[in-house]
A = this chain, B = another copy of it.
Amino acid sequence: MYGEISELINIGRELHLRGWLPATGGNLSARLKEELICITASGSHKGHLTMEDFVFVDLRGNVLEGRGKPSAETELHLLVYRLFPEVRSVLHVHSLNSTLISRLSGDKVVLEGYELLKAFNGIRTHQTTIEVPVLENSQDMRELSKKVEEALREGPGTYGFLLRSHGLYTWGGSIREAYIRLEAFDFLFECELKLLLGGKR
């Protein structure tokens, strides 16, 4: 448990310095046991996390331990853990690239022809396409969570999703894998965003 939390603390510090976790944006979670999730508390600054900034919840969102309030978006994390039993970590960031690419796109971002697509497991060639769904942002977590669930059920191979003008959710079978996918997504979004803003898309 201390291992996972300290890995999330380190990732928070690094991603904050890279500008992906501005202000109190974003939240980080890990599955410690099948039905035990730790997640950053609402309002905590993800670049300066301590052990006290984590809350422990079960898969229905009941708080088991921890002084803070779990993030308002805990429901989205739990949805991913419920849908995919193999997932051990969910990372949500407010990077500039994910915020703007979601703002400038329709209902999906299409990533095509990049070697870095091979960072997603199961993909063995750059001659492929990943579609990342873009969902309308909402403060109604029940409604939003329903829409995300539909999007994820329709696309079994989905590795993440975007909320418009908000940010990216991604996950993996380990914290390391979630972190790798996060880097891959942000890099690819940055490529697409630069092409779009430079009039090359």
Contacts and interface: CB of A to CB of B under 8 A. Distances in A.
Interface of A: 18-19, 22-25, 45, 94, 96, 99-100, 103-104, 113-116, 119, 124-127, 137, 139, 163, 165-167, 176, 180-181, 183-184, 186-187, 190-191, 193-200
Contact of A137 (B45, B115, B163, B196): B115
Nearest to A195: B100
Given A18-B19, A23-B187, 8 more contacts: A22-B183, A25-B116, A25-B184, A99-B115, A99-B116, A103-B191, A126-B139, A196-B198
Contacts of A119: 22-25
Contact of A166 (B99, B115, B167, B187): B115
Given A100-B194, A191-B100, A194-B197, A23 B126 contact: no
Contacts of A166: 114-116, 126
Given A100-B194, A198-B198, A115 B163 contact: yes
Contacts of A103: 113, 191, 195
A62 to B, nearest CB: 23
Contacts of A18: 19
A187 to B, nearest CB: 4
A193 B25 CA distance: 20
A17 to B, nearest CB: 8
B126 A200 contact: no
A89 to B, nearest CB: 15
Contacts of A25: 115-116, 119, 184, 187
A183 to B, nearest CB: 4
A116 B116 CA distance: 29
B186 A113 contact: no
